[in-house]
Chains A and B, each alone.
Chain A
């Protein structure tokens, strides 16, 4: 095993070293296929520059690749990367658009980010993505926990995606607003405040709301819903809307019902700002201090800091989540078949998911690394986040990330998630009556899956 690992690393190093040569080869072949080459002697001509497009999604700092991409661009003058974060919203905008591009054979970038919710469908469409195994990336297997690796293998048994980050869970809170409400502000005390579980959290919310009128306790019903769903699904066989045979179980899964019931409770208690996450009003809500807490998987830290901006630096803090760990979110990178430079794109995907780049992303946005070497890195364990009042995020997330359980998400997960959460928001905002909400929720899920 160890031998295998070492050989794998050697291979990876070797392939990075040969990347530059690969560029030359790719370019000369490009010349012969019709572009107006400057001269006939291909060997003497300097290697032509290529540009790879990296497409991601997410709010704030999203994948946290700014530093990692800058480093790559400095090291690879001939393979420049254009880092393009397309939109906040995965299910509503990014993924439908991406599938359209994949289907039509043009438009998708050379390396594209895929959220966990899209992986079920991506796995079932091997025709869309390049087999990364042919570029020697099987060697990366030893870097990843088994579940993160295996989710990147498609129905044809080919490796098509490499894992970026994992979920983990915490609660982000505004210490200044907590102070205003007479609640504790220190993160350990805040963690203790709702240490008794979600009921204690609701109680804290009611105390908060009694004192503070111009801000709500919770940002949106669907953020808190997803936090609870990720915890509950870990207790119910790690499934959400679909069972492992791709059968819709939205009406039968106790995890979904518990998460729904809790969301209903928190909405009825009047603790939500009645928004929908990853929309403009929600982004505005950060800047206008419209809510005091927010369920925060690792990647959400970057969403908060990137959206709220410097004005709120030090006002946000991180506490532990009530109700135990959960795994919400986490993404993969894949290389669409339509990429004109699949070899270089595969190199880039491998680089961006390397322990080194994952640690850069962690520093930038709080995205928790999925590779074992990065998770074991002492820098991670001792990391603090300046934006969140130097919160020891390594200590908050560190112990849990290695024990995170993978959640199984069906092929149509993104569609079902989009529709049922719409009903939740409708319930919260008043357009769906509470007594009809569960039925509508189930119906919306069934319609989206059918």
Chain B
């Protein structure tokens, strides 16, 4: 910054009493020009360099691999064009994984965000021990995903699980084998996701709510608007950007769901005996690292990427309308 000022000042009136430096001036000028133009880019470059190495390169390399018949365990690679993609689109197991992923995503995300919104609204009120509660809802996030999944998998155990025990007390005398059917496994996984992420979203919503000026609410109160009306007409529209952000993040997280269902399946990638809860991420790992069909897995990864773009797009059009024309 100081150099910047120096050149600005030096240009209109060059100091005459430094003839010896004249010869080196074009270079110093070049340097300061460089400093001016290039330094900012240089300073932010670490992120982009790292992104290029660990983000962009794998992305492009995966695309390249997906166009080949690429065996992982010592097999050879041959270029096959779009064959992996056409095979995938006709693969019932892949679509099964897509349905599972979307199903679990809907089952997990909708209650999660609604609950987070209500929680944030409650935490935004004046209540005793506010800090305690605010920190409290964030606590599950500190636990590792795997620990959460292991504990929940035990709670959902068929023979000795807590949930079946509780259900036994309300008249369900048949032990549910949570892994063995779609609805039960999806529910189990959705609760794991929600337990961990609801508080996180609530805190983000809360931060959004706190930026809403108080006088809006005061004015509304004077006009006789009920708290419910205030929530719908002031809170929701005002935190719309925050909601859009959480929906994006949840969509990406939900569609790449992996650790919870894997732990739920005793570390297997096939998600239950008939793939009841195999997600796309699990399918990719199964193809790539269990069946060693790396090209096929890469193609599936790219389709997942497209699916996420699609999901984010759809959700954006939904969320954009929240509280809009009301």
Contacts and interface: CB of A to CB of B under 8 A. Distances in A.
Nearest to B266: A279
B149 to A, nearest CB: 12
Interface string B157-188: 11110000000000000000100110000000
A430 B180 CA distance: 7
A423 B274 CA distance: 7
Interface stretch (B9-17, B55-63, B284-292): B284-292
A103 B75 CA distance: 10
Kindly name the residue among B93, B274, B292 whose own CB sees the greatest number of chain A CB atoms within 10 A. Answer: B274
Contacts of A448: 291
Interface string B234-276: 0000000000000000000000000000000011111011101
Contacts of A426: 180, 272-274
A264 to B, nearest CB: 15
A127 B269 CA distance: 27
Interface string A416-431: 0011001101100111
Contacts of B72: 99-100, 103
Nearest to B93: A447
B39 interface: no
A87 B266 CA distance: 11
A285 B160 CA distance: 10
B268 A103 contact: no
Nearest to A429: B180
Contacts of B276: 431
B160 A89 contact: no
Interface in A267-318: 274, 276, 279-281, 284-285, 288, 290
A274 B74 contact: no
Contact of A100 (B158, B270, B274, B289): B289
B160 to A, nearest CB: 7
Contacts of B153: 280
A139 B313 CA distance: 67
B52 interface: no
Interface residues of A, number: 37
B110 interface: no
A229 B274 CA distance: 22
A432 B274 contact: yes
A288 B273 contact: no
B182 to A, nearest CB: 9
B73 interface: yes
A121 B75 CA distance: 11
Task: Report whether over half of chain B's contact residues are helix, strand or loop; otherwise say mixed.
Answer: loop
A196 interface: no
B180 A125 contact: no
A94 to B, nearest CB: 11
A93 interface: yes
Given A281-B157, A415-B291, A429-B273, A274 B73 contact: no
Interface string A100-111: 101100000000
A96 interface: yes
Contacts of A274: 177
Contact of A425 (B269, B273, B289, B290): B273
A99 B291 contact: no
A300 B90 CA distance: 42
B156 to A, nearest CB: 11
Contacts of B73: 99, 102-103, 121, 125
Given A99-B72, A121-B73, A288-B159, A432 B273 contact: yes
Given A89-B267, A279-B266, A429 B177 contact: yes
B160 A280 contact: no
Contacts of A429: 177, 180, 273
Nearest to B293: A450
A65 interface: no
A128 B74 contact: yes
Nearest to B268: A92
Nearest to A423: B273
B292 A99 contact: yes
Interface in B191-209: none
A431 B291 contact: no
Contacts of A430: 177, 180
B289 A431 contact: no
Contacts of B159: 281, 284-285, 288, 290
A422 B273 contact: yes
A431 B266 contact: no
A418 B153 CA distance: 22
Interface hub of A102, A121, A431, A448 (most chain B Cβ within 10 A): A431
Contacts of A100: 72, 289
B199 to A, nearest CB: 28
Contacts of A432: 273-274
Contacts of A419: 270
A288 B266 CA distance: 19
Interface string B213-247: 00000000000000000000000000000000000
Nearest to B290: A96
Given A92-B269, A99-B292, A100-B72, 17 more contacts: A87-B267, A92-B267, A93-B267, A93-B268, A100-B289, A103-B72, A125-B74, A127-B74, A276-B266, A280-B153, A281-B159, A284-B160, A285-B159, A423-B273, A431-B273, A431-B274, A447-B93
8 contacts: A99-B292, A103-B72, A125-B73, A127-B74, A281-B157, A284-B160, A429-B273, A430-B177
Interface of B: 72-74, 93, 153, 157-160, 177, 180-181, 266-270, 272-274, 276, 289-292
